[in-house]
């Protein structure tokens, strides 16, 4: 499929996990992509993989901290200069930290909100003018199953993702008459650096029985990031043309 031939995309979180998988999926379908991430080592790995796949000529990597307003302004401007405009914005960047809520510091709570929610807002705000001038423009935000279902020790993360989900609905309404679609994906039970032991960092005394309801009904355990990347690619293409103002849960039936 070449659904992205001629399409210009900016993907945050492009240095690892689902964001990285999305970058490679859009490249594989013919798109021109700017992959942004705060992790420069991860971006080098993304570019190296693109070279191995023969798609690096359509990839630009951009070091970017999405929680920094000035960095987002200059980063989006750089991406637009490289791409010559923008048709698809994928906000995959995010962090997951876990802790007992009564032990969660304000510093940690604010950090999670700053990256996940505020960072997503900043990227959208700076990209909207270019998107409105783009071709069949789409914003794909990353919510999470934690926005709608109980995930213990993740109240701050859940708050950030719930905010993204609500913001997605508001933006879709605000810009629908101008042709901009805004949708969200809500992954769950996906294997990535974020969900590994180094990602959520569950408290040492976490009650694992609370996670009994968080096992996927389909397959053998967690799915790969490619599972989500395929859905993102659909949403950002003409195949998703009648989808806006909603979220699509991708969790293998974890939450029936």
186 part of a folded domain: yes
82 part of a folded domain: yes
| Mean of per-residue pLDDT scores for the chain | 94
Q: Give the residues across from 181 on adjacent strands.
A: 138
Selected catalytic residue, list 4, 47, 153, 157: 157
Domain encompassing residue 163: 8-250
CATH number at residue 172: 3.40.50.720
Count of structural domains within the chain: 1
175 part of a folded domain: yes
255 part of a folded domain: no
3 part of a folded domain: no
17 part of a folded domain: yes
| 157 is known as an active-site residue | yes
Residues near 83 by Cβ (< 8 Å), separated by ≥ 6?
A: 8, 9, 10, 32, 34, 60
pLDDT above 80 for 58: yes
Chain segment 184-241, per-residue pLDDT in tens: 999 988 987 655 544 557 899 999 999 877 778 776 678 899 999 999 999 999 999 9
């Amino acid at each position: 499929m070449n659904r992205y031939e001629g399409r210009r995309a900016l993907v945050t979180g492009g240095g690892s996990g689902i964001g990285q998988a999305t970058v490679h999926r859009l490249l594989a379908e013919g798109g021109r992509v700017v992959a942004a991430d705060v992790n420069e080592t991860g971006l080098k790995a993304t570019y190296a993989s693109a070279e191995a796949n023969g798609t690096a000529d359509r990839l630009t990597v951009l070091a970017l901290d999405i929680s920094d307003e000035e960095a987002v302004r200059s980063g989006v401007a750089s991406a637009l200069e490289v791409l010559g405009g923008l048709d698809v914005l994928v906000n995959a960047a995010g962090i997951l930290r876990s802790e007992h809520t009564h032990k969660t510091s304000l510093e940690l709570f604010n950090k999670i909100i700053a990256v996940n929610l505020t960072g997503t807002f900043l990227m959208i705000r700076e990209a909207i003018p270019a998107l409105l001038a783009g071709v069949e423009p789409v914003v794909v935000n990353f919510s999470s199953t934690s926005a709608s279902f109980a995930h213990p020790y993740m109240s701050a993360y859940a708050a950030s993702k719930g905010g993204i989900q609500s913001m997605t609905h508001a933006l879709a309404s605000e810009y629908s008459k101008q042709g901009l679609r805004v949708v969200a994906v809500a992954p769950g039970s996906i294997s990535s650096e974020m969900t590994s032991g180094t990602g959520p960092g569950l408290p040492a005394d976490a009650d694992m029985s609370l996670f009994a309801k968080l096992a996927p009904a389909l397959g053998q355990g967690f799915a790969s990031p490619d599972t989500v990347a395929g859905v993102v690619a659909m949403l950002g293409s003409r195949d998703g043309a009648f989808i806006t103002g909603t979220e699509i849960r991708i969790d293998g039936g974890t939450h029936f």
